Amino acid sequence: MAQWRKKEKDATYSDEEIESRLQEELPAWYYEGGWIRRKYNTSGWKGTLMVINTVGHLSEAAWHHPDIAASYAFVIVKLMNHAAKGVTDKDFELAKKIEEVVMWQPGIDEDSALDGTPEDPRFKYMKYNK
C-alpha cells in the first residue's frame, strides 16, 4: 500500500490522485462529478435510517459534512470539501471512518465476544457487499 503524502490543509487532489487513492484505500467508493461517493445497500428503511444517523454522527464529530441521498433500501454518501472546492485529506479520512463503522461486522471480521447481527431477515439491516 502506498503511503499518501499529506497535503497542506485543504489542498485538493487531482482526478488521477483521487482515482488511485480510492482504488488503493477505499475500493467500494468511486469518484464522480467532483465528489467521492459510496452507495450503502440496506435491507429496508430501518437500516437506511441507521446508516444516515451513523454518517451524521461521524460527520458532525469530524466537523466535515457530506451530502446524503437516501431511499428505502440504500444511502449514497458524497464527500467533497466545499471550502476547498475539491477532494482533500478530510474527505478521505472521513470516508475511511464511515466505511469502518458502517461496514463493521462483529464476529465475522474479527475475533470478538460480540456475535453480530443474526442472519435472520427479521434482524438483518445491512447488505454487506465485500
Give the CATH number, domain containing residue 84.
3.30.1360.20
Residues 8-47 as b or e (16 or more Cβ within 10 Å = b)? eeeebbeeeebeebbeeebeebebeeebbbbebebbeeeb
Q: Find out whether 125 and 43 touch, Cβ atoms under 8 Å.
A: yes
Query: Per-residue confidence of the chain (130 residues) as pLDDT tens digits?
Result: 556 666 677 899 999 999 999 999 999 999 999 999 999 999 999 999 999 999 999 999 999 999 999 999 999 999 999 999 999 999 999 999 999 999 998 877 678 888 888 888 888 888 887 5
The pLDDT of residue 2 is 59
The pLDDT of residue 101 is 96
Q: Where are the alpha helices (DSSP H) in the chain?
A: 15-25, 45-62, 89-102
Domain range for residue 32? 15-102
Residue 4 belongs to some domain of the structure: no
Length of the chain (residues):
130
Tens of pLDDT, residue by residue over 11-43, are: 999 999 999 999 999 999 999 999 999 999 999
Residue 45 belongs to some domain of the structure: yes
Residue 2 belongs to some domain of the structure: no
> Who contacts 65 (Cβ-Cβ below 8 Å, separation ≥6)?
59
Task: Tally the domains of the chain.
Answer: 1
